[in-house]
Structure formats: structure tokens, C-alpha cells
Amino acid sequence: SDATRKANKQNSTCFRACKGLFLIVVCLLLVSVGMSMYEKFSNRRVGIGRKISENCWVPSGRKTCAPQFIIAGAMKSGTTSLWSYLLHHPDVLGLMSTQLDPQNLRSVVAEKEVRFFNDPGYTTLVEEYGKAEAISYYLDIFPVIPPPTANSRDLMLMTNKNKITGEATPMYISSPGVAARVKEALPMVKLLILLRNPVDRAYSHYWFRKNLKSTAIDANEFAIAGTT
């Protein structure tokens, strides 16, 4: 009868709709699982690489040497001076960029302090990009140094061959979790830790803060005087 055919048609339409909805849910679940597996696989690559020479460790998925050293230490213990002295050596290269990631969630301070591995910056970057991609952005701020075995027609690239690079972030020494993160991402990096006699360091820090305050006061007085 017409009523039966109409009911069957409605049931068929409902079945197709449910089937379509079921397929959509399955697809979404598969995409979610796939993204989760990709993230886990990417994170497993962190800290994996090849040691080409004593001064060159190439992370997995990259073709150039990772930074070879990190300077850390107490404030006013000479980290900036050591960084400056090292850069005077023709085989030591500074950073290539002061912007760590596309959204500029983290930027380099004083052209040497990347501050990547300490919080809250590290957690923010990992949550935004994932650990593997965040570390990739970190590696991108360093100059391109080809492995000693590299052979390229790019003369500009080959001028960096056998050179080294690194960063200087004093606060790494006092930030929880930094040591484990550095070991995970850069297992072959050399750590240069600077300490100083506590009394001398405190005295130097006192004058550093006092001079900053005096400079600010003098600048304000000069600005006010110049407008009258």
C-alpha cells in the first residue's frame, strides 16, 4: 500500500542519514588517532641523530649540525663576557635570528639569550607547536653549519664548514627542568657553566642594579629639563 511504501521510504532515508553520520564520526576518530600517532612519532625523533664528528651532531630529519655549546651560569658571573670572547674567534658563529617562532611567542634577548628550555616559554611553545616542531624552530635560529663530510657547490654554505655555534642563557642554571630538556633535545651539546665567588657576585649585582636605577633617573631628569 501507499502507507507502507511511504514508511519504507522514510526508514530508508533515516538509515542513510544515520549511516552518513556514522561514517563522519568514524572519519573524525581516524583523523584524531592519526594526529595523535603522528605527534607521538614526531616526539620520538627528538634527541635522535647522528654523530658525524666531535663537533657535529646532526638531529634526525635535518642535514646540518646542531649547536655545539650552551653557556649558563649565575648572574654577573661573566657569561656575557665569555660569549663576547668566543664570538671573536673566527670559527665561532653567533645566532642568525632574534625571533624564535612564527608567532613570536618567544624572542632572543640581547642577541645571545634564547631562553628556549626554561618555563614559561618552553611549555608555551610545546603546547602551541608540539615538542618536535618547537625544537625545530629553536634549531632554525642558529647558522647553517654543514657536516665535515658535506660536499656542496654552495660556497656561502661551505664557508661555515667545521665551525661551531651556540647560545648563552644564564638563567638555565636555576630553572627547573632545563637540564632534562637540553639532554633530550641536544644529547651531544657541551655545557659551559660559570660560577663566581658569592660575595663578589652579590657586590657586582648590587652595583649593576644601582647603575640601572641611576641611569633611569638621570634620563628622566634630562627629559624633563629638556622640555622646560
Let me know how long the chain is.
Answer: 228
What is the SS3 assignment for 5? helix
Q: How far is C-alpha 95 from the geometric centre of its chain's CA atoms?
A: 13
Check if the beta carbon of residue 72 is closer than 8 Å to that of residue 117: no
Q: Is 76 a catalytic residue?
A: yes
The catalytic position among 6, 40, 63, 76 is 76
Roughly what angle, to the nearest 10 degrees, separates helices 121-129 and 131-140? Answer: 110
62 is in an annotated binding site: no
36 is in an annotated binding site: no
Taking CA atoms, 159 is separated from 41, 56, 144, 167, in Å, by 34, 15, 10, 20
In whole angstroms, give the CA distance from residue 187 to residue 194: 20
Instruction: List residues forming the annotated binding site for 3'-phosphoadenylyl sulfate.
Output: 196, 204
Active site residues: 76
